[in-house]
Amino acid sequence: MPFETITESDFKEYRQEHFVFEGKKAILVKPNGKPNGKWALKTEYFGAFPTLEMELLDRGWHIAYNENDNRWAQQPDLERKGRFIDHVASGFELEKKCAVVGMSCGGLYGVMLAALCPEKISALYLDAPVLNLLSCPAALGAAEISLFEEYHRITGRTVSQLLSYREHPIDKMDILLQNRIPVVLAAGDSDKVVPYCENGQILAEFYRKNGGTIEVYIKENCDHHPHGLKDPAPIADFLERFSHC
């Protein structure tokens, strides 16, 4: 194994290993039962709304996480994540491809990562994903909360520059489609932070129009939180359908 385990601890009723990958904290959560070689990478907010992760662990999956510099999916983080996938797959003898669990800004990471290295991704689970930066963080449309001060501080981009920016996740949809990356998407219909109509709906309509594989779950009267479904089985079933040992 090419990692030095720093500590072990509990994640809910499971065990997790903590190690360092390229200077960033990393975690691998192990199933209690027999592992099946499948694994999922949570791209941001590790430990938040973990119902799906627990369902996958109960099915024999591993769950991995590698710390980011920030939550806005900048190129160094994306490139490190691509290398992290290779290291986890080889070091822990897991599948070469992983499923991605991307919630909110984690969805921004998920799409950008899949566009960067589609050969390493088996499927995407996107939950209230940030896909249109004019919507979130800039709040130039239906969003009622702006996160642009944080985004500008990290990226240096202005609103004017963002208007002509062509590296939004929605600009990568054709790459996902060309590589036949299946997507399962969940979102609240009353999201005031990342409005579905400006983000996930664009991807869903594009996939449906062009023959992509997508399942969509819309939660009535739900804001940005809580993420996930009360019953995570349909999402886990979808991810398993496209994961092959």
Report yes or no on 135 lying in a domain: yes
Rounded Cα distance between 139 and 184, Å, is 25
Give residue-wise pLDDT tens across range 206-222.
999 999 999 999 999 99
**What are the counts of helices (DSSP H) followed by strands (DSSP E) for the chain?**
8, 9
Rounded Cα distance between 190 and 193, Å, is 9
3-state secondary structure of 10: strand
Q: Which residue has the tokens 């939180």?
A: 225
Report yes or no on 94 lying in a domain: yes
Give residue-wise pLDDT tens across range 78-92.
999 999 999 999 999
Report yes or no on 1 lying in a domain: no
The mean per-residue pLDDT over the stretch 188-193 comes to 97
pLDDT at 5: 64
- Helix (H), strand (E), coil (C) string for 206-239: HHHHCCCCEEEEEECCCCCCCCCCCCCHHHHHHH
pLDDT at 3: 55
The mean per-residue pLDDT over the stretch 126-151 comes to 97
Q: What single-letter amino acid sits at 95? A: E
pLDDT at 243: 87
Question: How many structural domains compose the chain?
Answer: 1
pLDDT exceeds cutoff 70 at 240:
yes
Report yes or no on 73 lying in a domain: yes
**Closest by alpha carbon to 84, among 14, 24, 16?**
24
Report yes or no on 173 lying in a domain: yes
| Whether the Cβ atoms of residue 213 and residue 183 lie closer than 8 Å to each other | yes
pLDDT at 106: 97
The mean per-residue pLDDT over the stretch 64-71 comes to 97
The CA-atom distances, in angstroms, between 139 and each of 68, 143, 196 are: 23, 5, 13
- Give the start-end residues of each E strand in the chain: 7-11, 14-21, 24-30, 39-42, 62-66, 98-103, 121-127, 183-188, 214-219
Which range of residues forms the domain containing residue 217?
Answer: 7-241
pLDDT at 4: 61
Report yes or no on 79 lying in a domain: yes
Report yes or no on 2 lying in a domain: no
Question: CATH number of the domain that 210 lies in?
Answer: 3.40.50.1820
